A = this chain, B = another copy of it.
Amino acid sequence: MEGIKEKFVVIGLGLIGGSLALDIKVKRANAIVYGIDKEEKHVEKALELGVIDVKGSIDELNNADWVIIAVPVDKTVGILVDVLDKINSNTIVFDVGSTKNHICEAIKNHTNRRNFIAAHPIAGTEFSGPEAALRDLFLERTNIICEVEKTAFIFQEKALQLFKEIGMRIRYMDPISHDKHIAYMSHLSHISSFMLGKTVIEEEKNERDIFDMAGSGFESTVRLAKSSPAMWTPIFRQNKEQVVKSLSEYINNLNAFKELLEQDKFDEVFKTLDETNRIKQILK
């Protein structure tokens, strides 16, 4: 491969797509990264920041070695089908979306299913767009791969090598389990944070300077309320059933806790908090 360029096409130049592009350029000296985005200004910004090397086109995929799809999940299926139609037999394609069942179902019978890896690197920040791209965003973060057995051995091997170079830890899961667990481990956190932000904004709308009272605790709990609605609305839609289930259980727990407070059962309040402290050991 010496002297030969490895062609990466990144579709969606936001936080995740941009961060992958940055890492790939560092880890693979012979990589040339093409960028595609529906927003022309994102392409320009990504070029200016050195996130990508060249502006790409969806109609020039036939000589791509890799295609990475990093767009909001409601756009992924349409783009993925188009990409799988256009690639050659040696191209590896992966997505990075936070829902996996819908997409795995949608392309399960595609002729080029074997070229595709359904991936979910669990990493991010509350920021979006090419300016949000970060080096080493995926270092020691988990990347869930679904239905790995449906990807050809050679592409599994190559993709794992790339993911390893970027520093990801790999876990395998079926798409239904992925969507069920990620509702609790990620989607619910976003709703809890957005609604905390909403509640506080509503209450304090007539108050001046009250946000001077924001400590690091409030800031960390409300951080995800800064996330992109264009990214998160389609995630909640695609994973609606599991999200509603986790949200119902969360609301039940909040109601039960409110009742303990109202009934002055502070021994039980203590006990509940104390048991939940177990999260310390779990996340260690």
Interface residues of chain A, those whose CB is within 8 Å of chain B, are 122-125, 141-142, 144, 169, 171, 181-182, 184-186, 188-204, 207, 209-227, 229-230, 232-234, 236-237, 240, 243-244, 246-251, 253-255, 257-258, 261-262, 264, 266, 269-270, 272-280, 282-283
Q: Which 3 A-B pairs have the closest CB atoms?
A: A229-B273, A122-B215, A189-B221
Instruction: For A211, list chain B residues within 8 Å (CB).
Output: 185, 282-283
Contacts of A197 in B (CB 8 A): 276, 279
Q: Which of B214, B255, B278 contacts A185 (CB 8 A)?
A: B214
- When distances are taken between beta carbons in the complex, the residues of chain B under 8 Å from A123 are 215-216
Copies of the polypeptide in the assembly = 2
- Whether A257 pairs with B191 at a CB distance below 8 angstroms is yes
Judging by beta carbons under 8 Å apart, are B277 and A229 in contact? yes
Closest B residue to A249 by beta carbon equals: B199
Contacts of A220 in B (CB 8 A): 220-221, 223-224
Task: Provide 19 A-B residue pairs closer than 8 Å at the C-beta atoms, listed in order of the A residue.
Answer: A142-B213, A171-B213, A182-B213, A185-B213, A192-B196, A195-B250, A195-B254, A195-B257, A201-B282, A221-B224, A222-B279, A222-B283, A232-B273, A233-B269, A237-B266, A237-B269, A247-B257, A248-B258, A250-B254
Residue contact A250 to B196, C-beta cutoff 8 Å: yes
CA gap between A185 and B191 in the complex, in Å: 17
Q: Are B203 and A249 in contact, CB atoms less than 8 angstroms apart?
A: yes
